[in-house]
Structures are given as structure tokens and as C-alpha cells.
Chains A and B, each alone.
Chain A
Amino acid sequence: MDKNIKSGITFGLIGGFLTFLFGGWSVAVLGGMLGLGLGLSLGSRFERRNPLQIARASFMPALVAAVILVGLSLVQNIFILPALGKARLFDNQVIIANTIGFLVVLLLTIITCAIHGLSERQEGIAKLVLLAIVIITFPFIDKATGLRWSAQVIFALIFVILGLGLNIVVGYAGLLDLGYAAFFAIGAYTTGILSSPQHGIYMNFWLVIWIAAGIAALWGLILGAPTLPLRGDYLAIVTLGFGEMIPVIFRNLTEVTIKEPFTCWILPGITNLFGAKSTLACITFFERQDLTAGEKGISPIGRPSLPFIGEFQSDNPIPWYFLIIVIILLSIFIIRRLRESRLGRAWMAIREDELAASQMGIDPVRTKLAAFAMGATFSGFAGAFYAAYIRGIFPSVFDFSASIIILVIVILGGLGNINGVIVGGLVIMTADRLFLPALKDFLASLLTNTILPSLAGNPVLQAAVKDNANPILYRFLLFGLTLVIMMAVRPEGLIPSAQRRMELHAAEEMAGPVIPEETAKPNAMTVAGKTKAAAKKR
């Protein structure tokens, strides 16, 4: 079979499966995404020639995909929904939604394919325009079709920013940071403390977001300065420890008392031994202050407001959506410039060979510190946005699992590649926040209507099946599998940067064992020699 038609079938089946889960108007929106994806993947296969010819060649796969999508969507509407005991859409709505879906798949596939027939420059512009249209129209389409995906997409975009920040640390500088969510938490808590009734401070969001980023960067420096000279895997553990400590600290900063130790107990203790009494007064900085409200969390947190729009409301995701899009665009711009700068090239040099880089005059610790601080800055932005968007922050949000989700995003998308990280963030977070809940609902209604009644005779088995059919409970299994499989199969990520890919596959091409430059000492117990060797190797 033709390769193009095959990918048409694949895309159609994926889209069809998703419409099974989401139902309703999702066929139109999913059709749009399907069209774009299919068009992009088909387009690159054609040689650059007349756009019309390409459009003609891409018609058949597009038609196949559209037919499969709409067919599955109709099957879902007509047969599955009644079987699940759910109301289906009104019949004329089904027809309209599916017609739109059908047309959208065809049109978008052919257009995105045909773009490839233009000259390289024009293609770039056309792709940008297409992307801009999709990004701008998405929240309005989402609202019109009543899918309510925007709120979750905003979450995904927050994690895209976090991924971009972590990408600087892990992807560019090659430092494995397992506690990245700590800086996210610091950004969020800074915002919470500076614009909420907790301390009666109500600062403007547009100011707070910069303060949050600054404080997160400062903490990046504070944490990085002592730990960055450490070995790579020790650094990972120390950052993990820091990431573990931060939620604990925020959870327990409810009765903060800080007293100067010398005047409060060291001197009185010593004088007490001699039977005298200290005359110095005890200097107290804080006495039982509630800084973070512990498990209850800080809320409500002030929201941003703009002229003409007014204060951003929680029931209207559109302004939030565009705000985060603006933040992401700014971040991408800054990160691109950084990567091309002297500092960015120094990061990559350090990542590839620290010893050689330091011989070339790069200060490794300073360069790494800059990476740490820059990475923390972006999570400060994300944290401030998150706090204002959710309006309340709780310590449990920022634990180790959040750090790992961000790491999975970077690994899945592609270490060191901005586009890869964006795709990774969208895939992981929409899978986590949209796909899994939909799958859970689908499974639950499927089970209650079909399998569970037939197991009524065996209550133990019935309960076991019912309890275990919850994909949300096991979402981290998915992330763990992603990490292991990506490392084994494609360590460079879905959309790798060319440089990183060569690096990660270099070892496979290296033939035979490498003779170490310093033969090991015969005595296993010599410590100094070992550390010297370890330092040399890094």
C-alpha cells in the first residue's frame, strides 16, 4: 500500500479513537489537529515542486483519514453512546459537527501539504501564519464548541514554560536537576505571599511576576553556588533533596520563630554554668509567624488586570490563555537568543567536555550557575502565573512528581530543542489532564454498562475490576515507562536537536573499550588517587 495512505489511516485511527473518548463536537477540533499533523508529516515527504501537484497527491490520504475519523465518530454517536447509557447530541448537530470535521481534515491536510510546494522562505512564513491562526482561534473554537479544553491547555502551557526552563539546565548545560519544581514553588509562593490576604500585601501582578522570577533566580544561585562543583549524579541527588525539602518547608512554616542564638541561649547557657545571669537581651526576629498557612494553602491570590479587559476572571480562560501565550513567546525569544550567545555556547561546551571547555577559558562553575539561575527564572514566571491562575497554592502541588513530569516533558520532546520541549509539554500534559480523565470516564461507563453486571455473581472480582480500571491512579506508571522507553529507544527525544543526537549516539559508534588514561592503583583502598581520577574524568 502507498506509504502516504498508510499514514492517513494511522492518523485517522488515532483521531477516531480520541473522538470515541471525548465525543460530541470534539470531532471538529480533533479534525483540525489531525489535518495539521497529517499535512506536516506528509508535506516533508514530497519534493519541492508545484503546490497544486502536491495538493493533488495529498488528496487521497487526506480523504482516507477524514473518512476514518468521521466514520468512527458516527459509530461512537450512533452505537456506543446509547450503549453507555449516555445521551447523544441532537441528530442535526451530529451531522453538522461531522461535516465540519470532514471538511476541516481535508482542507487543512491539503493546505499544509501544499505549503511545502512554495519556496523555502515563503513556506516558513506560511507555516508561521498557519500556526498563528491555529493558536489565536483555538480558545474561541473551544468556547463555541463547548469542549472546555482551554483550562487544561493553559495548564499544559504552564508546563511548557517549565519545560523550557528545565531545558536550559538539563538540555543545554547538561546538569540533571531533579528538584526543578522547587523553583516553581518558590515563584508561586512569592506571588502568594506578595498578593494575598495572608500578609495583607496586595501587589500588582505585573510587578509580582518579575519579583517572583527574580527570587526564584536568587534561589537558583543560592542552591547552585555550593552544589554545582559536585559530580553530575551527586548534583541530581542534591537537587532532588532540595526539591523534597521545599514542599516540606512551605507546609511547615506556620509558626516561625527566629531568635538570635548567641544572645538567646549560648551566652545565657555559659553564664548559667557559672551561676550568673546574662544581662544581654534576647534578640527576636520573628515570634510565631504564620508565613505560608501550611496545608491550607494561600488563597485568594490577586489576579492580573488590564485596561479594556479588566480583571481576569476564573470562568473566562481566554485572557489567561493569551497571557500565557505571550509569556511563552517571550521565553522562546529569550532562550533562542541565549542559546546563540556566548553564554549559550559555553553551556554546550561544558556539557560536552567540561575539562576541554575550562581549558578554553570557560569558568565551569560560573557558567553552570548562570544556567541554574536562568532555568529558575523561567519557573519563577510559570509559578507566578500558576498562582494567579489557580488563585490558591498548596504545598502538595510542588512535590517530586511535579519535577519528574517536567523532566519527562523535556526528555520526551528532545533534550536541548525548543520545539521538542513545546511538543513534549503539550503531549504529556494533555495526555495527563484531558486524555486520562476521558479514558477513565469511558472505561467506567463501559464497565458499568457491560462487564460489571455480568460479574454480579462474584462481588470480589467485580470490586477488583472496578477498583483497578482507573487509569488516573496509575498515571505515573505512564511517565516512568516513558522515561525508560525513551532512554532505551530514542534518548534524543521525539524532536531532537541534531547536535544532541550525535552526542547521545556517539558511544554506540565507539569501537572497542577505551583505555583509561590513568591505570588504577593496585590498592583499592587509596582514596586520594581515586578522587583525582574522578575529577580528571569529569
Chain B
Amino acid sequence: METTKKKNFNLRSLGVLVLVLYIVFLIGPIAGLDVPTIAASIKANPLQLIQFLIIGISNGAIIAIIALGYTMVYGIIELINFAHGDVYMIGVFTSLTVLSLTGTLNSTNPVQIVLGLAFALIIAIVVCASLNATIERLAYRRLRNAPRLAPLISAIGMSFIIENIGLMWAAQAWLVPSFGTTGGASQKVFPDMLSALFKATGFNGGDVNLLVASGLPLRLTVKDILVIVLAVALMTGLYLFVQRTQLGKAMRATAQNRDAAKMLGIDIDLVITATFLIGGGLAGAAGLMAGLYNNTAWWFMGFRAGLQAFTAAVLGGIGNITGAMLGGFLIGLLASFSDGYLNARWTNAWVFATLVLILLFRPTGLLGEQVGQKA
């Protein structure tokens, strides 16, 4: 511990860091990192900074919930569950379909909207949890003792399969009429149910923006509040579950040393299935939240979201549940500021650049990784 700390702060690393920073600022303007322009726009409208902060935290909450699925699975079986982002995409489509089938989409009855959303949340969680566990059963279980690359390749294949299920799903206009006739490849609208709910109740003057009365040029909507509250509740629940319950203890034991856990009578298969169920359920919840928050559903959305969430998990320290939450919020903020001040087209490049930089300078993440030994 002491030696690594010393190593991290020696002169050579500092030199490398300065060099990297210089290069970032030298070629950064290509990707929108133009410091004078950014400074000018912050000066012109400082309140916007708060706006991007709000957006960043809300998106970060969604990313954090997806990241939890990555980090839990990686902590236990040291596998990047590549299909996890696509499970989240299925969560978006499931909730959209449930909302459509229950008639909630066109409803103006507030009770029906609330009940429909709750029902969609439950169904999305159930569908995604079982999908994730099925993926584990079909694609990963028999490869558990294979060389490390084998399950990863299988995971990539699974990701493609699920993406194509999403692509087919988005083409079924008979199931969800709002998909329209544009085919499965186009982005679909996820109706803004919360604005509809506010219009229906007339609460806050029928406006979803809570700050509308204050007259500030800011938007802090119920969507933000809902996403953040739901995310924090899920994370707290998960944390308590892992720390306090018998199964959570078994999970931690399996993560530390699978064989030792087995010898102590822990059913490894059950623990791994439970991990995948929980991760999938969280992805399903994130799906509904993201649909409500960003109002789009797209078959390819899982890929990008998955990469951002994985970056968040690595940033916080893979295998570390608290780390994934922290990483999620940080990546959300990074993406939001990049969208706002740099250039939205380069946001993904910035996220990846962050990933590379973390892996180079602090591969164990901000809070340290918690990965056991794989037999």
C-alpha cells in the first residue's frame, strides 16, 4: 500500500501528467475543448452551469444504476457482461410497450398514469431480470472455467443478439402503434408521461418544471427529482442488501474466493444467478427512468449507455458498488458538460478518453477495485 502511494506521486508521473494535459489542451480544440470559448460562455450565462449540473446528475443516476449491473457481475465472475447495456435497452422497450398496451400513453387520468407507470416499472424489472439470468444460463455458465476471452466473446455475441431483438421489436407497429411505419432502425419517441401527468392534475400550474414560479431561467423538473430519488433508493436498497442479508454475504464471499465459498456450502450457481437477476432488474428500472427522462427509445441506445456505464464502473473501481455509484454521477456530469460546453458530437470520445486515462493512471479506480481471485 505504502509503496504504491509513493509511486503515484513521484516526479516522473507528474511530468507525464503535465505532458498529457498539454497534449489534451493542444489537440483538445478539435474536439471542442476550447478554453477561451468555454470561459466566455460560462461568463455570459453562469446559471447554465447549474442547469448542466442538474442534467448531469440525473443522467448520471441512470448511468450509475446500469453501472451497478456491470460492477456486480464483474466482481463475482470477472466478466464484462457486454450484453448488459442491451438489457437496459430492452427495459426501455418493455416499459414503452407496457405503457402502450395498458392504454397509459393516451390517458389523461392521473390515477391511471401513476398506476400504469408503476406497473411498467414492475414488468420492466421482471423482464430484464429474467432476461439477464437467461443470458447467464445460456451464454456464460458453461464457459465459467474456459479461458477468459471465451465468455467475453460470447457476451459480445449475446449483445448483438439482443440488439437485434430490439431492432425487431421497434418494427412491430401492430404492438405499439406509436412506433409508426419508419421501420425498426429509426429512433422512437418515448412519450413524456410525467408532463402529461402534470397537465392532467394541474399541479404546479400544469408545468413539470418546479422552478417555473421562481422566474429563473432554469429547469428543475419532476423528472430530475424522480430519477434521482428512485436511483438513490435503489442504490441504498442494493447496498443494504449486499451488506446485511444472508444472500448478500454469500455474494461477497463468492466475489472474494469462489472455491472457498463453495467449500463453505454456498451454492455458487444460485449466487451468480441472483447477481444477474439483480443487475438485470436494475437495468430494467434504469430503462423506464431513461425513457421517461430522455424520451427516446432506440435499438442501439444500449451500446453507448453500456460503454458509459462500464466507464463509470471502472472509474469508481470495478467490483465496488459505492464506486459504481460515484463513477456514474461523475460520467453523467462529464457527458453533460461535454454536451453543453464542448461539442455534443465529441461527447463519446471524451468519455472514452477518460476511460483510457483512468486505466493508465489509476487502473484500480477512484475507490479501489474489489475483485476476488478467479479459480
A interface with B by C-beta (< 8 Å): 170, 174, 176, 178, 226-227, 230-234, 236-238, 240-242, 244-245, 248-249, 251-253, 256-261, 264-266, 269, 400, 404, 407, 411, 460-461, 463-464, 467-468, 473-474, 476-477, 479-485, 487-488, 491, 503-504, 507-508, 510, 513-516, 518-520, 524-525, 527-528, 530-531, 533-534, 537
**Contact indicator B26/A260 (Cβ below 8 Å):** yes
Contacts of B375 in A (CB 8 A): 513-514, 516
> Is B158 a contact of A484 with CB atoms below 8 Å?
yes
| Contact of A258 (CB < 8 Å), options: B27, B152, B257 | B27
Q: Is B368 an interface residue (CB 8 A)?
A: yes
Report if B295 contacts A (CB, 8 A): no
Residues on the A chain within 8 Å of B255, using CB: 524
Given the complex of chains A and B, what is the CA–CA distance between A461 and B156 in angstroms? Answer: 33
Contacts of B317 in A (CB 8 A): 527
User: B23-38 toward A: CB 8 Å interface, digit per residue (1/0)?
Assistant: 0011101110001100
**Cross-chain pairs A/B with CB under 8 angstroms, 16 sampled:** A230-B363, A231-B363, A236-B149, A236-B152, A240-B307, A244-B307, A245-B348, A245-B349, A467-B183, A484-B161, A488-B154, A504-B147, A513-B262, A524-B370, A530-B371, A534-B371
Which B residues touch A530, using CB under 8 A? Answer: 369-372
Choose, from B164-172, B206-214, B277-285, the stretch at the interface.
B164-172
**Bound state CA distance, A531 and B375, in angstroms?**
16
B373 contacts A483, C-beta separation under 8 Å: no
| A404 close to B156 (CB less than 8 A) | yes
The minimal Cβ–Cβ distance linking B249 to chain A, given in whole angstroms, is 11
Q: Is B303 an interface residue (CB 8 A)?
A: yes
Beta-carbon contact of A519 and B257 below 8 Å: yes
A534 and B364 alpha carbons, distance in the complex (Å)? 11
Candidates B151, B164, B259, B363; contact of A474 at CB < 8 Å? B164
The contact of A265 among B36, B138, B153, B359, by CB within 8 Å, is B36
Q: What 9 A-B pairs come out closest when comparing CB atoms? A: A483-B157, A480-B160, A241-B352, A527-B368, A477-B164, A484-B157, A480-B161, A261-B25, A487-B154
Q: A176-B152, A404-B160, A488-B143 are in contact. Are A261 and B22 (CB under 8 A)?
A: yes
- List chain B residues, Cβ under 8 A from A269: 35-36, 39
Residues from 324 to 357 in B contacting A, C-beta threshold 8 Å: 343, 345-346, 348-349, 352-353, 355-356
- Asked if B148 lies at the interface with its beta carbon under 8 angstroms from chain A, I say yes
Whether the Cβ atoms of A484 and B138 lie closer than 8 Å is yes
- Judging by beta carbons under 8 Å apart, are A467 and B153 in contact? no
Q: CA A28 – CA B372 in complex, angstroms?
A: 60
Asked whether B29 lies within 8 Å of A474 as measured between CB atoms, the reply is no
A238 adjacent to B157 (CB under 8 Å): no
Known contacts A265-B36, A530-B371; is-contact A248 B348 (Cβ 8 Å)? yes
How close is B364's CB to chain A, nearest CB, in angstroms?
6
Give B365's nearest chain A residue, CB to CB. A527
Q: Which A residues lie within 8 Å of B143 (CB)?
A: 487-488
Tell me how far the C-beta of A473 lies from the nearest C-beta in chain B, rounded to whole angstroms. 7
User: A236 — which chain B residues lie within 8 A by C-beta?
Assistant: 80, 149, 152
A474 engages B80 (CB within 8 Å): no
A43 to B30, CA, bound (A): 60
> Are B373 and A234 in touch, CB under 8 angstroms?
no
Given A404-B160, A484-B158, A516-B375, A527-B364 contact (CB < 8 Å): yes
B346 in complex: contacting residue of A252, A400, A507, CB < 8 Å: A252
In the complex, the answer to whether A226 meets B360 with C-beta atoms within 8 Å is yes
Are B359's CB and A234's CB within 8 A? Answer: yes
Interface centre among B150, B168, B260, B373 (most CB of A within 10 A): B373
Contact A504 B150 (CB under 8 A): yes
Contact yes or no, A241 B26, CB < 8 A: no
A373 to chain B, nearest CB (A): 19
Is B9 part of the contact surface with A, judged by Cβ < 8 Å? no
State in angstroms the CA–CA spacing of A477 and B260 once bound together.
39
Interface status of B256 (Cβ within 8 A of chain A): yes
> Which residues of the partner chain B approach A231 to less than 8 Å between Cβ atoms?
363
Interface check B185, CB cutoff 8 A: yes
Q: Are A241 and B355 in contact (CB under 8 A)?
A: yes
Most buried by B among A233, A484, A514, A537: A484
Q: Which residues of B contact A242 (CB under 8 A)?
A: 352, 356
B228 to chain A, nearest CB (A): 27
User: A240-B307, A530-B371 are contacts. A491–B146 as well, Cβ < 8 Å?
Assistant: yes
Tell me whether A481 and B161 are in contact in the complex, defined as CB-CB below 8 angstroms, given that A473-B184, A513-B262 are known contacts: yes
**B354 → chain A, closest Cβ, in Å?**
10
- Given that A467-B183, A474-B168 are contacting pairs, would A520 and B346 also be in contact in the complex, using a CB cutoff of 8 Å? no
Do the beta carbons of B149 and A176 come within 8 Å of each other? yes
State A533–B255 Cα separation when bound (angstroms). Answer: 14
Residue from A233, A237, A249, A518 in contact with B349 in the complex, judged by beta carbons closer than 8 Å: A249
Q: Report the bound CA distance from A528 to B307 in whole Å.
A: 26
Chain A residue with Cβ nearest B184: A473
**A487 and B369: CB pair below 8 A?**
no
A269 vs B40: C-alpha distance when bound (angstroms): 12
Q: A258-B30, A480-B158, A513-B262 are in contact. Are A238 and B373 (CB under 8 A)?
A: no
Within 8 Å CB of B252, what residues of A?
524
Q: Is A487 touching B150 in the complex (CB atoms < 8 A)?
A: yes
Q: Contacts A261-B35, A463-B181 known; A227 to B26 CB distance under 8 Å?
A: no
B-chain residues with CB within 8 Å of residue A485 when the two chains form the complex: 157
Counting CB contacts under 8 A, is B142 at the interface?
A: yes
Specify the chain A residue showing the minimal Cβ separation from B181.
A463
Asked whether B174 lies within 8 Å of A464 as measured between CB atoms, the reply is: yes
Q: How far is the CA of A510 from the CA of B139 in the complex (A)?
A: 21
Point out the residues of chain A lying under 8 angstroms from B29, CB to CB: 257-259
Give 7 A-B pairs besides A463-B181, A468-B171, A531-B364 with Cβ atoms closer than 8 angstroms: A170-B149, A237-B314, A253-B30, A474-B167, A476-B164, A483-B153, A520-B257
When C-beta atoms are compared, the residue in chain A nearest to B20 turns out to be A226
Chain B residues with CB below 8 A from A531, complex form: 363-364, 369
Instruction: Kindly state the separation between the CA atoms of A463 and B175 in the bound complex, as whole angstroms.
Output: 13
Shortest CB-to-CB span from A102 to chain B, Å, is 40
In the complex, the answer to whether B355 meets A238 with C-beta atoms within 8 Å is: yes
Contact B360 A244 (CB under 8 A): no
Residue in chain B with minimal CB distance to A506: B147
- The CA-CA distance from A525 to B348 in the complex, in Å, is 32
- The answer to whether B352 and A520 touch across the interface, beta carbons within 8 angstroms, is no
Can you name the residue of chain B whose Cβ is closest to the Cβ of A482?
B157
Provide the residues of chain B in CB contact with A230, threshold 8 Å: 359, 363
A487's closest neighbor in chain B, by CB?
A: B154
- B344 CB to closest chain A CB, in angstroms? 11
Select B145's contact among A488, A510, A528, A537, beta carbons within 8 Å.
Answer: A510
Q: Across the interface, do A464 and B147 meet the contact criterion of CB distance under 8 Å?
A: no
State how many angstroms separate the Cβ of B298 from the closest Cβ of chain A.
15
Which residues of chain A have C-beta atoms less than 8 A from B148's C-beta? 232-233
Q: Chain B residues near A533 (CB, 8 Å)? A: 373
In the bound complex, residues from chain A placing their C-beta under 8 Å from that of B352 are: 241-242, 244-245
Shortest C-beta distance, B97 to chain A (Å), equals: 15
A169 CB → nearest B CB, Å: 12
CB–CB B259/A515 < 8 A: yes
The answer to whether B374 touches A467, judged by C-beta atoms less than 8 angstroms apart, is no
